[in-house]
């Protein structure tokens, strides 16, 4: 539950985003469209910077990652193979009264934020703390009056007399409806608490929610002029699948060797049941995903003669030939946190959450969620999953096209292994397969037979140098990162003038690397042509290298304040000293630093060497 201070902070951030042109509601003049957001002039620059920085760190600064830009609409079979058609759904309930849809697993969290719900909780705490419960019809009537306006469809409101009578009766007899807070809340939310489904009231009106039903999150459309089942297509719900289906093409055309990665940045679409928390859960958003393909552990063991595991602590260093999937997984978690540190977020802003075995998606061997401390709670910014060979195997199965790679070095290495090593590699694989089959519900005996069959076929292929690569997937949301950066950057500064009047200003303390505008250029006065001409010259000097905002209107303090609110880290002021009023200061400017207001005199010729290392 977010407290009122955090809610207020979020409201301020949302309003600043609109006021300064970072983020607007989509289609606003038509009343908006829930779950869709547009990025204004500053937001578009911020987003571009974030995506460029990710691309540079993932693709340009590495020899082992290449890029891809695939289509949003792809062959529908891809979503059958990936499991999205069958399992990519959220549980959804409908309010029987107001007909609004609510994600069942978020109903409690949503309703907890409502003031009327808190009144019910307070009433319960005050009333039911001692037994027998002293409750009267009059007390329940008062409670009903206090929630009536905001929760008109709550059963206690709709059918006050019946619900109150039942609660009073229960208090004096079996006490069942007062046995705990949840039971009590449920009792006031429904006319018939015995109907089996333990739900919470509708967060919008207090009405009764239906039982959860699975709701597929993919946006559906048709390609071509005829709308039929034969030309159904979907807007991609993640960018990852395109990487898997193009894996073979990229591998064969990019001259990469295993292990290597394919990166993609692009739009994804999910018909979220309840988009919320500003851009955090949107229906159209962008992802930055890397699929890093690695050799299976058995191939690594055969090639390197040993297998490094996470316990060795190797993941902090430079990739090595003996790394198994666990080490690669930890390595990518560390790389991603370092990326965030590099753009102004601190390690303490995150929580690394290792999913428990029963929380893992069916394809994942391990998943780490990088959670960020947003004002509305600690929530996922990025997921880093070790997906085994699930995806490439599925696409091989559904497309009938091989996703295997051939590794000549592996084939040669296998011929040199002694029998004991071959057997131990096979035994290790067989036991992993057996365990996974048992987990999926197979009987021990059946699992053992199947595991032997699988491992025999698998090792035969491996011996010939063939395998389906495994994958580590760091998958981040662009929009969530933008929101995290905005929340982290938001500061209020209170200043008091000589007359004791205080003023609160907003300063967005973006890291210079992500800041939408890097530098503001200000002639001290706009009616002095020499100052203006010099300021234009400084602007033109900087512009090819960074985003510059030229501003000549208003008092210089106001101009600084406007740029502080936009998050511009540096300001350059051209004054009379620049023009040589003091000869020793000819062609120098004032360089102002946003975060501490520090000002220093810098030669125009030194501006680029000073600023460039700070923004790159
Ligand atoms: N390929 C794996 C995948 O898509 P995910 O955890 O569903 O995994 C990855 O999504 C990231 O995409 C999330 O960590 C989040 O940053 C972002 N994301 C997911 N759904 C989103 C939504 N509805 N709105 C904004 N960002 C979202």
Residue 425 has pLDDT above 90, yes or no: yes
The DSSP result for 506-517, as a single string, is EEE---TTT-S-
Distance from the alpha carbon of residue 479 to the mean position of ligand 1, in angstroms: 10
Structure tokens given for 190 = 């429904």
**Residue 363: predicted pLDDT:** 83
**Would residue 507 count as lying in a domain?**
no
**Would residue 252 count as lying in a domain?**
yes
Lowest mean pLDDT among 4-8, 51-55, 371-375: 4-8
Distance from the alpha carbon of residue 326 to the mean position of ligand 1, in angstroms: 23
Provide the β-strand partners of residue 383. Answer: 369, 475
Atom of ligand 1 nearest to the CA of 385: 2
Long-range contacts of 52-60 (CB under 8 A, 24+ apart): 53/339, 53/342, 53/343, 53/513, 53/514, 54/265, 54/288, 54/339, 54/476, 55/263, 55/265, 55/288, 57/339, 57/342, 58/261, 58/263, 58/288, 58/290, 59/263
Residue 488 has pLDDT above 70, yes or no: yes
Average pLDDT over residues 600-605: 98
Atom of ligand 1 nearest to the CA of 282: 24
- Co-location of 375 and 443 in the same domain: no
Given 394, 429, 464, which residue is the final one in a domain?
464
**Would residue 307 count as lying in a domain?**
yes
Average pLDDT over residues 440-458: 92
- Co-location of 392 and 420 in the same domain: no
What gap in Å lies between CA 300 and CA 312, rounded to an integer? Answer: 16
Mutate to test the pocket of ligand 1, among 36, 383, 394, 485 (most ligand atoms within 8 A of CB): 383
Q: Are 282 and 37 in contact (CB under 8 A)?
A: yes
pLDDT digits (tens, 9 = 90+) for 58-87: 999 999 999 999 999 999 999 999 999 999
Average pLDDT over residues 490-515: 93
Instruction: For residue 43, give the nearest of 543, 614, 517 by alpha carbon.
Output: 517
Asked whether 364 lines ligand 1 (CB < 6 A), one says no
Asked whether 481 lines ligand 1 (CB < 6 A), one says no
Given 160, 185, 214, which residue is the final one in a domain?
214
- Co-location of 377 and 422 in the same domain: no
What gap in Å lies between CA 129 and CA 77, rounded to an integer? Answer: 57
Asked whether 568 lines ligand 1 (CB < 6 A), one says no
Q: Are 237 and 268 in contact (CB under 8 A)?
A: yes
Atom of ligand 1 nearest to the CA of 275: 23
Q: Which residues contact 103 (CB under 8 A, 6 or more apart)?
A: 90, 91, 92, 93, 272, 273, 274
**Would residue 326 count as lying in a domain?**
yes
- Co-location of 595 and 548 in the same domain: yes
Structure tokens given for 525 = 């006065």
What gap in Å lies between CA 566 and CA 508, rounded to an integer? Answer: 6
Residue nearest to atom 12 of ligand 1 (CA): 477
Average pLDDT over residues 589-611: 97
Residue 198 has pLDDT above 80, yes or no: no
Residue 1 has pLDDT above 50, yes or no: no
**Residue 44: predicted pLDDT:** 98
- Co-location of 459 and 472 in the same domain: no
Provide the β-strand partners of residue 294. Answer: 470
Structure tokens given for 347 = 């390690």
Distance from the alpha carbon of residue 110 to the mean position of ligand 1, in angstroms: 20
Q: Which residues contact 54 (CB under 8 A, 6 or more apart)?
A: 265, 288, 339, 476
**Would residue 594 count as lying in a domain?**
yes
CATH of residue 375's domain is 3.30.930.10
Average pLDDT over residues 533-548: 98
What gap in Å lies between CA 359 and CA 253, rounded to an integer? Answer: 37
Of residues 12 and 498, more confidence is placed in 12
Distance from the alpha carbon of residue 120 to the mean position of ligand 1, in angstroms: 35
pLDDT digits (tens, 9 = 90+) for 223-273: 999 999 999 999 999 999 999 999 999 999 999 999 999 999 999 999 998
**Would residue 26 count as lying in a domain?**
no
**Residue 509: predicted pLDDT:** 98
Residue 196 has pLDDT above 60, yes or no: no
Residue 592 has pLDDT above 60, yes or no: yes
Given 168, 197, 214, which residue is the final one in a domain?
214
- Co-location of 332 and 304 in the same domain: yes
- Co-location of 447 and 378 in the same domain: no
- Co-location of 111 and 80 in the same domain: no
Asked whether 35 lines ligand 1 (CB < 6 A), one says no
Asked whether 163 lines ligand 1 (CB < 6 A), one says no
Q: What burial letters (b/e) apply to 573-591, b meaning 16+ CB within 10 Å?
A: bbbebbbeeeeebeebbbb
Average pLDDT over residues 40-68: 98
**Would residue 25 count as lying in a domain?**
no
Asked whether 391 lines ligand 1 (CB < 6 A), one says no
Distance from the alpha carbon of residue 477 to the mean position of ligand 1, in angstroms: 6
The DSSP result for 137-183, as a single string, is HHHHHHHHHHHTTT-TTSHHHHTHHHHHHHHHHHHHTT-GGGSSHHH
Distance from the alpha carbon of residue 239 to the mean position of ligand 1, in angstroms: 10
Q: Are 190 and 159 in contact (CB under 8 A)?
A: no
Asked whether 434 lines ligand 1 (CB < 6 A), one says no
**Would residue 511 count as lying in a domain?**
no
Residue 146 has pLDDT above 50, yes or no: yes
What gap in Å lies between CA 279 and CA 479, rounded to an integer? Answer: 6
Q: Report the number of distinct structural domains present in the chain.
A: 4
What gap in Å lies between CA 415 and CA 459, rounded to an integer? Answer: 12
For the chain, what percent of residues have pLDDT higher than 90? 78
Distance from the alpha carbon of residue 276 to the mean position of ligand 1, in angstroms: 14
- Co-location of 522 and 436 in the same domain: no
What Å distances lie between residue 49 and 44, 45, 147, 374, 445, CA to CA?
9, 6, 47, 21, 55
- Co-location of 196 and 291 in the same domain: no
pLDDT digits (tens, 9 = 90+) for 333-343: 999 999 999 99
Q: How far is CA 426 from the centre of its chain?
A: 39
- Report the run of H or E that residue 102 belongs to, with start and end: strand 101-103
Quote the domain boundaries for residue 597.
517-615
CATH of residue 556's domain is 3.40.50.800
Q: Which residues contact 239 (CB under 8 A, 6 or more apart)?
A: 70, 264, 265, 266, 267, 268, 287, 289
Q: What burial letters (b/e) apply to 136-159, b meaning 16+ CB within 10 Å?
A: eeebbeebbebbbebbebbbbbbe
Distance from the alpha carbon of residue 309 to the mean position of ligand 1, in angstroms: 28
- Co-location of 359 and 416 in the same domain: no
Average pLDDT over residues 488-515: 94
Angle, vertex CA 288, rays to CA 285 and CA 293, nearest 5: 140
- Co-location of 438 and 544 in the same domain: no
Angle, vertex CA 165, rays to CA 159 and CA 166, nearest 5: 90
Residue nearest to atom 14 of ligand 1 (CA): 382
The DSSP result for 32-65, as a single string, is --TT-EEE-HHHHHHHHHHHHHHHIIIIIT-SSE
């Amino acid at each position: 539950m977010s407290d009122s201070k955090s809610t207020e902070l979020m409201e301020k951030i949302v309003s600043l985003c609109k006021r300064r042109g970072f983020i607007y509601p989509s289609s606003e003049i038509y009343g908006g469209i829930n779950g869709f957001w547009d990025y204004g002039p500053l937001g578009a620059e911020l987003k571009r910077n974030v995506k460029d920085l990710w691309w540079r760190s993932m693709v340009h600064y590495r020899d082992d990652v290449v890029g891809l830009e695939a289509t949003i609409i792809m062959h529908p079979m891809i979503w059958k193979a990936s499991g999205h058609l069958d399992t990519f759904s959220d549980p959804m309930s409908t309010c029987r009264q107001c007909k609004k849809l609510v994600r069942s697993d978020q109903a409690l969290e949503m309703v907890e934020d409502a003031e009327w719900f808190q009144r019910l909780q307070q009433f319960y705490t005050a009333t039911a703390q001692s037994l027998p419960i002293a409750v009267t019809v009059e007390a329940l009537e008062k409670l009903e009056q206090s929630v009536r306006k905001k929760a008109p469809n709550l059963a206690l409101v709709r059918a006050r007399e019946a619900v109150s009578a039942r609660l009073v009766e229960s208090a004096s007899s079996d006490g069942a409806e007062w046995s705990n807070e949840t039971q009590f809340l449920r009792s006031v939310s429904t006319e018939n608490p015995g109907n089996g489904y333990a739900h919470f009231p509708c967060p919008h009106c207090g009405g009764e929610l239906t039982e959860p039903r699975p709701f597929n999150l993919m946006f559906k459309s048709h390609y071509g002029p005829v709308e039929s089942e034969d030309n159904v297509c979907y807007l991609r719900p993640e960018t990852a699948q395109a990487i898997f289906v193009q894996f073979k093409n990229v591998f064969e055309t990019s001259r990469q060797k295993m292990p290597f990665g394919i990166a993609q940045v692009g739009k994804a679409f999910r018909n979220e049941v309840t988009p919320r928390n500003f851009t955090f859960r949107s229906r159209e958003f962008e992802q930055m995903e890397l699929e890093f393909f690695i050799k299976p552990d058995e191939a690594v063991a055969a090639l390197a003669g040993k297998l490094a595991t996470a316990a060795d602590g190797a993941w902090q260093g430079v990739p090595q030939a003996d790394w198994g999937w666990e080490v690669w997984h930890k390595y990518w978690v560390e790389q991603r946190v370092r990326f965030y540190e590099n753009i102004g977020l601190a390690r303490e802003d995150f929580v690394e959450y290792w999913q428990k075995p029963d929380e893992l998606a069916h394809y994942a061997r391990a998943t780490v969620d990088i959670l960020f401390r947003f004002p509305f709670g600690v929530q996922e910014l990025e997921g880093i999953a070790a997906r085994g060979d699930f995806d490439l195997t599925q696409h091989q199965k559904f497309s009938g096209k091989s996703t295997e790679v051939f590794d000549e070095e592996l084939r040669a290495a296998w011929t040199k292994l002694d029998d004991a090593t071959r057997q131990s590699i096979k035994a290790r694989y067989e036991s992993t397969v057996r365990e996974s089959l048992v987990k999926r519900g197979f009987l021990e005996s059946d699992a053992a037979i199947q595991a032997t069959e699988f491992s025999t076929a698998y090792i035969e292929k491996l011996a010939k140098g063939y395998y389906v690569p495994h994958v580590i997937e760091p998958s981040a949301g662009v929009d969530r990162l933008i929101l995290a950066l905005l929340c982290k950057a938001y500061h209020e500064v209170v200043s008091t003038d000589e007359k004791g009047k205080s003023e609160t200003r907003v300063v967005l303390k973006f890291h210079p690397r992500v800041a939408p505008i890097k530098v503001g250029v200000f002639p001290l006065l706009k009616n002095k042509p020499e100052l203006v001409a010099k300021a234009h010259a400084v602007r033109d000097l900087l512009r090819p290298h960074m985003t510059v905002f030229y501003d000549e209107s208003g008092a210089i303090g106001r101009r600084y304040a406007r740029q502080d609110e936009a998050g511009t880290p540096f300001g350059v002021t051209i004054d009379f000293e620049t023009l040589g009023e003091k000869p020793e200061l000819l062609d120098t400017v004032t360089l102002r630093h946003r975060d501490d207001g520090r000002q220093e005199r810098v030669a125009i010729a030194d501006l680029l060497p000073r600023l460039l290392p700070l923004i790159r």
